[in-house]
Amino acid sequence: MSEHNGGYADLAVDLIGRAKRYGATEADVVVADGQTLSVQVRVGAVDRLTKAREKRLGLRVFVGRRSAISSTCDFSKDSLEHLVAETCALAKTVIEDPLSGLPEPSQMAHDQPDLDLYDGTCLSAETQIEWAQRGEAAAFSADERVTNSEGAEFESSSGRVVLANSHGFVGSYEGSSFSLSVSPIASDRRTGSMQRGLWYDVQRKFARLASAESIGQEAAKRAVRRLGARRVPTKRVPVVFDQETAGSLLANLCTAVSGYSLYKGASFLVDQLGHTIASDLITIYDDGRLVSGFGSRPFDGEGVATRKNTVVERGVLTSYLLDTYSGKKLGLPSTGNASRGIGEAPSVGPTNFYLVPGISTPEDIIRSVKQGLYLTELIGFGVNMVTGDYSRGACGFWIENGELAFPVEEITVAGNLKQMLKDIEMVGNDLVFRGRIASPTLKIAEMTVAGD
């Protein structure tokens, strides 16, 4: 894709010039070019193979305070001329928005550091099939109770983004990712019960991906350990969130600090800047410049320089996540968090949003619980972002005297995010990124666990 970069940049600059000739006062163009190869095997046989390559271009124009956005996959000269003319004509017909417009020129990213996001390794379909088969085979051989499989999937993707605007900004970056997931099914012949397990790894660089065997073995372990799961009586107890479920808790917080949720009044954190919203064990960063991070990039969806934002510092809310528009609505500058689909207006998204790890091992945290729940899976979407009320279906393990006693399922965990954040008593040392939002293991002092 590198050979396209100069061409795409020139094309974007040319379209901005054409938009100005049609009456645009400001404009930006984003071009994305990418490819994906995904294979799924099930019980050793190839179940699905998809290969896709696409390129798309998005144009946003402003005529004064009026704006319009359009996109196309057709890069022919006539098609692009038509796109520019139509978009500019459309912009002239829409209602004015006094806050619309590009970011200030001074906010544009001036440096474009190498963030180690791209791996040129090109895997064949045969290699990806072999990885998926090895992962699934490892799950079957790890334990005789693994009797079936929902499959193993290997996906590789790579792409490039070019962004240019009428301030003279032109930027680009490339990225790649490689992932393997394995989903075995374990069964108990005595009871006939069955449980699914899932484990995965994802990396920017192929060489850093965990071995297919280790992913398959961990997936098998997770399926088998859930056999014999039962419900527990309703009670209020400490709840330990594992990495994955703690990550989903952090995703709820990420939504609550998004500029769009805030100016619409759809967040329990409205007007909470500078206030204590969590335990003093909690420090959260959103770092767009994290080397090899899944959300890392030199500039955001508007060309604004990315940076490391401190969102929560020792329990105090110190920053929201903002793009230019939501920032103007709140009277604050952009934090470099504009996220953007081709042909869509920018919105707010995290870069690498994570909770700073503590000093306790997950085992230490479990040992600290006399009786409670170790949470490993959440089901459903029972979170009210306006009030913070939280109620979700759950699976996990019951803790007795500091040890995992038995698996539990068909239960609900309930509380309120405002109180849950303040009730975090321990933070694990096991932070691992498998996406843009990551958290170590967490212990919340008390929540309602509803079962029988």
Return the H-helix or E-strand segment holding 184: strand 170-187
Distance from chain centroid for Cα 163: 22
Kindly report the length of the chain: 452
Identity (one letter) of the amino acid at 72? T
User: pLDDT value at position 313?
Assistant: 98
Tokens standing for residue 275: 């206030």
| pLDDT on residue 2 | 39
**pLDDT value of position 381:** 85
Domains of the chain, residue spans? 2-32+53-107, 229-452
- CA R_g for the chain: 24
- Render each residue's pLDDT in the chain as its tens digit; 452 residues: 334 456 999 999 999 999 999 999 999 999 999 999 999 999 999 999 999 999 999 999 999 999 999 999 999 999 999 999 999 999 999 999 999 999 999 999 999 899 999 999 999 999 999 999 999 999 999 999 999 999 999 999 999 999 999 999 999 999 999 999 999 999 998 888 899 999 999 999 999 999 999 999 999 999 999 999 999 999 999 999 999 999 999 999 999 999 999 999 999 999 999 999 999 999 999 999 999 999 999 999 999 999 999 999 999 999 999 999 999 999 999 999 999 999 999 999 999 999 999 999 999 999 999 999 999 999 988 899 999 999 999 999 999 999 999 999 999 999 999 999 999 999 999 999 999 999 999 999 999 999 87
Distance CA 429, CA 103 (A): 39
Which 3 state secondary structure label does DSSP give 433?
coil
Interatomic CA distance for residues 33 and 283, integer angstroms: 36
Handedness of CA 119, 122, 125, 126 (dihedral sign): negative
Residue 371 neighbours by CB under 8 Å, 6+ apart: 237, 398, 399, 400, 401
Class assignment of domain 2-32+53-107? alpha beta
